[in-house]
Amino acid sequence: MHWFYLLSGVVFFLGILGFSITSFRELEKRAGLLSLLCAVGFGIIWAGIGIAFPEATFYLAVIAWALSVAGAIFLSLPIGKAEPLKIDISKTERFDERHIMFGRMELKEGTPQYDEYYMHLNPEMKKVDDNLRSMPDLGEPGAKYFNKLDSPYMVSIFEFIEKIRHLADPGEPDQGPVSITPEEATRKIKGFGKFLGALDVRVTRLRDYHVYSHAGRQLHNWGQRLTLDHKYAVVFSSEMNYRMVHTAPLLPTSTESAFEYMRLACIAICLATYIKNLGYKARAHIDGNYHVLTTAVAHDAGLGELGRLGLLVTPTHGPRVRTAVVTTDMVFVEDKPINIGVQHFCRICKKCAENCPSQSIEKGEKKEIRGVTKWQTKMETCYHHWRTLGTDCSICLAVCPYSKPNSFYHNLLRFFIHRNSVARKLAFLMDDLFYGRRPRHTEKPAWFSE
């Protein structure tokens, strides 16, 4: 047996074994076992061929390497142009925050806002919304997963966010604007954002359709026409813990979601205050106090693409992120939207839609909605399921192939699927093989009740 053949076999074997070890560390038992079997099977076959044909081993090793390199080169080629998210600017329009589910749930029967909404704005939703309001709220007794010790984790975090919402607007600057170039301003704001804990920070010019037309989340300014005298938006993300997300739909994933909203709120308030201290106007847009559609801003800034599940899909963490925004009149260098193949991959995958317990995610083709051709999630049925469970479900996040951890093997695969349509189809098949079509759950952290 030629030494090159033996060395090649060791390299290939360790490569497969490395994926198995990585999978077990990620608590992916199915992927770990299957890849371990692949490693053992490969080792047996490789050794058997070497023993049976010792004189041909050098040439066999050369052929194996040639096929591997050729395959890698082919999958890295820009084959099959990835379709971008289609946005017809001429048809875009501002969305009314009064129509979002969380805003509607703030309305109380007998109040002027309740009467205005269900008598004039959206009377057909009164029966549906009244039924939702009659159900236990998230974290309240009566829901399927309510736990007197665990549910308050999530509730406590959101109560804290509510107490700091008023800090979203740091007020007028105390001084004139500091002289700073767009390039330096961009470097400073991105560097400070990442120092504060943001996963990624991007900048885009603020567009009209980014801003809600009317306030609808809080009763004190409900129905107020919204205007933002700002030119740019800074958008940033925070990673949701992989293991916490994979407890979905149990309480840990909701606690993790709440925690990331809290972390983002703190980052956004600090960034807005920093910009104000440089003499520029700024406002943070955080949970419960948004004036902008964060997903629209994030897409245009190149933070990720809009996926089938209705959430932002980022290049390194998929939809397993939360986002917040700071708008300002400070001038930056604008980032551009990215195209990493999400539209094509989501069209063939459908894993989130097939596993959605409430069947709220569109399984068919995209539709044009306010100038954007996208898949539309049914928020009423989705939220009904949330209230039934007492959590924010998040099964769609857990099953999305893009949500895998930011490790060597997953990043290598991401490199290929960002560039190549054949790689996307292969990745889809491999994800089904190694991880299955159905969700699986990790154990709750030890500090959660049993």
pLDDT exceeds cutoff 80 at 275: yes
Burial of 448 (0-12, 13-18, 19+ CB in 10 A): middle
What are the distances in angstroms from CA 83 to CA 297, 363, 373? 19, 18, 12
Q: Check whether 443 has a pLDDT greater than 90.
A: no
Q: In this structure, what token pair is assigned to residue 5?
A: 């053949």
Per-residue confidence band for 286, with pLDDT thresholds at 50, 70 and 90 = very high
Tens-place pLDDT, residues 63-122: 999 999 999 999 999 998 788 999 999 999 999 999 999 999 999 999 999 999 999 999
Q: What is the side-by-side strand order in the sheet with 282-285?
A: 200-205, 232-239, 321-328, 282-285
Question: And the tokens for 36?
Answer: 């371990």
Given pLDDT bands bounded at 50, 70 and 90, which one contains residue 449?
confident
Mean pLDDT of all residues in 170-188? 96
pLDDT for residue 239? 97
pLDDT for 361-373, tens place per residue?
999 999 999 999 9
The one-letter amino acid at 376: Q
Mean pLDDT of the region 122-133? 96
| pLDDT score at 441 | 78
Q: What is the pLDDT of residue 438?
A: 86
pLDDT at 224 over 90: yes
The CA distance from 334 to 354, in Å, is 37
Task: Look at residue 374 and give its three-state secondary structure.
Answer: strand
Residue with tokens 């260098």: 333
Beta-strand pair 321-328/282-285: antiparallel
Identify the burial level of 80 via C-beta atoms within 10 angstroms of its C-beta, where 0-12 means exposed, 13-18 middle and 19 or more buried.
middle
Q: CB–CB of 401/427 below 8 Å?
A: yes
Q: What is the chain's length?
A: 450
Q: Residue 50: pLDDT above 80?
A: yes
How far is C-alpha 32 from the chain's CA centre?
25
pLDDT (tens digit per residue) in 328-338: 999 999 999 99
Mean pLDDT of 400-423: 94
Residue type, 135: M
pLDDT of residue 82: 82
| Mean pLDDT, rounded, for 435-441 | 85
> How confident is the model at residue 288, as a pLDDT?
94
In eight-state DSSP terms, residue 281 is -
Task: List, in order, residues 6 or more apart from 437 with CB less than 8 Å away.
Answer: 351, 354, 355
pLDDT for 440? 80
What local confidence, expressed as pLDDT, does residue 41 receive? 97
Rounded Cα distance, 72 and 118, in Å: 58
pTM above 0.75, yes or no: yes
Q: Residue 428: pLDDT above 80?
A: yes
The residues near 442 (Cβ < 8 Å, ≥ 6 apart) are: 27, 243, 246, 247
Q: Chain-wide mean pLDDT for the chain? A: 95
Q: How high is the pLDDT of residue 172?
A: 95
Quick one: DSSP state of residue 408? H
pLDDT at residue 450 greater than cutoff 80? no
Q: What is the pLDDT of residues 244-254, one digit of tens each?
A: 999 999 999 99
**pLDDT at position 248:** 95
Alpha helices in 363-443 (DSSP H): 379-389, 395-399, 408-419, 421-435
Report the alpha-carbon distance of residue 368 to residue 365 in Å, rounded.
10
**Span 321-327, average pLDDT:** 98
Residue with tokens 């767009």: 182
Given this model, what pLDDT does residue 439 score? 79
Q: What angle do CA 60, 66, 71 make, to 5 degrees?
A: 130
